[in-house]
Amino acid sequence: MTVFRNICVILVSAILVDNYVLSQFLGICPFLGVSKKTSSALGMSGAVIAVMTIAGAVTWPIHKYVLEPYDLTYLSTMAFILIIAMLVQCIEILLKRFIPALYNSLGVYLPLITTNCAVLGVTLLNVDQYGKFYEAVLNSFAAGIGFALALILFSGIREKLETCEIPKAFQGMPIALIAASITALSFAGFAGLFGI
Amino acid sequence: MKFKYVKPTLVLLIICVVISAALAATYRLTYVPPVTDPAQIVALMADDYAEVLPGSTDYVLVERTEGYEKLARGAVVERVTASNGCIVTVHSSGQYDSDPIRVLVGVGADGAVTGVKLLKISETPGMGMKTNNPRWLAQFVGGTSFSLDGRTGAGIDGVTSATKSSRAVVNAVNMAVEAAAELRKEAN
Amino acid sequence: MEKKSIWQIFRNGLIDENPTFRLLLGMCAPLAITTSASNAIGMGLATTFVLVCSNAVISALRRVIPKEVRLPAFITIIAGFVTIVSLVMQRYFASLYDSLGVFLELIVVNCIILGRAEMFASKNKVIPSLADGLGMGLGFTAALLIISTIREILGNLSWFGFSFFGDDVSGMLFFILPAGAFFVLGMLTALMNVIFAKKPAKKNDAGCAGCPGASACGGSCDRKEAEAK
């Protein structure tokens, strides 16, 4: 039963209460950059969920079974980011080869994911917080979902903003940031859910 | 086809090796070996111990959990007995930041808390960090069981909008009081 | 490309193309770390150090690194410097290290550093790259300082940890919350738009200089735009 409870806590925490974008401030660059259109937001979200989950699944064992035993944890930043870069490269090649349609819609966002703070952030936080493999992978997946949720919600808001009359100084990024502020406030309302 | 991959891979490999070597050197230079000798640990921490358990002497380190510097959560990590009570260190769980708060609690011979000190805390400045205030921590002195809503123990005024941090410290102190009670039973 | 003097390059990074307010790069840190001015300065200086060093090294190696492994090579070099800063900070500035948490390691993927490596350091000599790194880094630090000053004074009624009215008084907690971070940044960006109204930002949300992936795709959006015209 505690395993089930664990799973719930990880899911709720990463997606709602401590949302990776709106509460932990990871992945802000693509959050602000790719959210102008919902279609691009959807594409980016799909790619991020995939990369985050795989990256989490690959980096956690490497840290636990290679870096820790040999006292090489200071190499973890370098190792993780290189793994993520290679993963992204591999996924791009595989997609291009086997699912060209998906590659055409997602392809342009894949290189962007390498510099997504959320992906590296999730892998680094995983090794600190979770002692079991399934927890780490679940957390990575949930972080991706949380990122997707925030991104898609926000892109919907921004599309609506396009139709409003906005003062000249606030056009573009400033009004988007204010909208993000209100979105973040609304997510703060989840605090205390399930005692988290 | 394969030949053109040799040079780039080689260059990348050389860069990786050079940087890893530089990092290894920096790590050696900045490495501080953890203190394992109980006498040395007690000597280093004596001032903090005296702060939370005033008037105490003769510290005896009963136990320090394996991998003390690694981040255990929601657990007692160190137990020390002294002349007039015991001192327990607890790593909190449920705090806002991913790193636990290291709570040092002094418990007198009667089982009541004599002092609380936060040795390591990295909560949000302006919110969770406000628990690191001597006046807030003084609320624990003299009590044996605490809670934020006052129902299951003496009521502690949580820090506004820092419920997670406040609750984490309260739970840690409760855990410390229980561990101290066990220590006294073991001693007798 | 016109030849800029070293001073112009430095000033460019500091003001005209300030990475936070004009180029809108590297936004994670300005939002997360700015609840306390001392943390902000620490973060800014750490980022500046990494930026200057990586710019210098990448510029020195620009003819040696083959095009195919450009990105992994840059990342490795930057990660090396970030780890060095992290190890040194862990030893000598332990409380700052605790406060910065995971964001210190995340300097590796700070869009500013990769972006400048791609856009400037790999195409210019070492001294101009140093100037660019220093300018951008100090511009970033200045931006962090401004944001954190506002958030700390309004949110906590203190500055650099010095409380104006004593510990017990709270400020407007909104500014310490994540929502407040977005709000302050939004207002400041609007203010910058007003101040720089005569010189519009080099790009809006589109365009390569503002895109966090510019370093990754090598400015393909700009190229596509140019081709489309």
Residue C192 CB coordination number (10 Å)? 19
Closest CA to A171 of B110, C45, C205, C145: C205
Q: What is the pLDDT, as a whole number, of residue B67? A: 65
Is C71 part of the contact surface with chain A (CB cutoff 8 Å)? yes
Residue B69 CB coordination number (10 Å)? 9
Q: Are C9 and C131 in contact (CB under 8 A)?
A: yes
The Cα–Cα gap between B50 and B44 comes to 12
User: Could you say which residues from 10 to 69 on chain B have a Cβ atom under 8 Å away from some Cβ of chain C?
Assistant: 11-12, 15-16, 19, 22-23, 26-27, 30, 32
Chains touching C, CB cut-off 8 Å, 3+ pairs: A, B
Report CA dihedral (C39, C42, C47, C48) to the nearest 10 degrees: 140
Structure tokens of C187? 């207002």
Chains touching A, CB cut-off 8 Å, 3+ pairs: B, C
Q: What is the pLDDT, as a whole number, of residue B2? A: 63
Beta bridge partners of B106: B87, B115
User: Tokens 């095009």 map to which residue?
Assistant: C67
Flag whether pLDDT at A195 surpasses 80: no
Query: How many residues are listed for chain B in this entry?
Result: 188
Q: Are A44 and A34 in contact (CB under 8 A)?
A: yes
* pLDDT tens per residue, range B53-80: 998 888 888 888 866 666 678 888 899 9
Contact across the interface for B30 and C88, Cβ inside 8 Å: yes
A chain contacts of residue C25, beta-carbon cutoff 8 Å: 29
Is C179 part of the contact surface with chain B (CB cutoff 8 Å)? no
* Mean pLDDT along residues C204-223: 45
Contact across the interface for B99 and A125, Cβ inside 8 Å: no
B chain contacts of residue C35, beta-carbon cutoff 8 Å: 124-127
Structure tokens of B145? 């069981």
Task: Give B84 to chain C, closest Cα distance, Å.
Answer: 32
Flag whether pLDDT at B169 surpasses 50: yes
Flag whether pLDDT at B132 surpasses 60: yes
Q: What is the pLDDT, as a whole number, of residue C138? A: 94
Q: What is the pLDDT, as a whole number, of residue C28? A: 83
User: Could you say which residues from 123 to 162 on chain C have a Cβ atom under 8 Å away from some Cβ of chain A?
Assistant: none
User: Could you say which residues from 151 to 180 on chain B have a Cβ atom under 8 Å away from some Cβ of chain C?
Assistant: 160-161
Angstrom distances, CA of residue C86 to CA of A70, A74, B34, C139: 19, 9, 18, 21
The Cα–Cα gap between A20 and B57 comes to 47
Structure tokens of B163? 């419920």
Q: Which of B23, B71, B99 sits opposite A75 (nearest CB)?
A: B23
Q: Which of A81, A86, A188 sits opposite C178 (nearest CB)?
A: A188
* Mean pLDDT along residues C49-55: 95
∠ CA C159-C164-C167, rounded to 5°: 95
Q: What is the pLDDT, as a whole number, of residue C3? A: 59
* Mean pLDDT along residues C46-62: 94
Flag whether pLDDT at A166 surpasses 80: yes
B chain contacts of residue A128, beta-carbon cutoff 8 Å: 71, 98-99
Closest CA to A54 of A129, A154, A137: A137
Instruction: Name residue B115's amino acid.
Output: G
Q: Half-sphere exposure of B80 toward its Cβ, with a 13 Å CA cutoff?
A: 28
- The SS3 call for residue C175 is helix
Flag whether pLDDT at A81 surpasses 70: yes
Angstrom distances, CA of residue B105 to CA of B43, B143, B144, B162: 18, 12, 12, 21
B chain contacts of residue A129, beta-carbon cutoff 8 Å: 98
Portion of chain B with pLDDT greater than 90, in percent: 37
* Mean pLDDT along residues B129-149: 90
Q: Are A144 and A26 in contact (CB under 8 A)?
A: no
Contact across the interface for A169 and C216, Cβ inside 8 Å: no
Is C206 part of the contact surface with chain B (CB cutoff 8 Å)? no
Beta strands B85-91 and B102-108, pairing class? antiparallel
Q: What is the pLDDT, as a whole number, of residue C216? A: 43
The Cα–Cα gap between C29 and C42 comes to 11
The Cα–Cα gap between A7 and C121 comes to 45
Q: What is the pLDDT, as a whole number, of residue B37? A: 85
Q: What is the pLDDT, as a whole number, of residue A151? A: 93
* pLDDT tens per residue, range C119-159: 888 888 999 999 999 999 999 999 999 999 999 999 888 88
Q: What is the pLDDT, as a whole number, of residue C217? A: 46
A chain contacts of residue B20, beta-carbon cutoff 8 Å: 75, 78
- The SS3 call for residue B36 is coil
Q: What is the pLDDT, as a whole number, of residue C203? A: 45
User: ipTM, 2 decimals?
Assistant: 0.88
Alpha-carbon torsion C105, C108, C109, C112, what sign? positive
Closest CA to C30 of C168, C109, C146: C146
3-state secondary structure B47-108: HHHHHHCCCCCCCEEEEECCCCCCCCCCEEEEEEEECCEEEEEEECCCCCCCCCCEEEEEEE
Task: Give A144 to chain B, closest Cα distance, Å.
Answer: 18
Is C176 part of the contact surface with chain B (CB cutoff 8 Å)? yes
Residues 6+ apart with CB under 8 A from C27: A28, A29, A32, C20, C111, C185
The Cα–Cα gap between C75 and C77 comes to 5
Beta bridge partners of B87: B80, B106
Portion of chain A with pLDDT greater than 70, in percent: 98
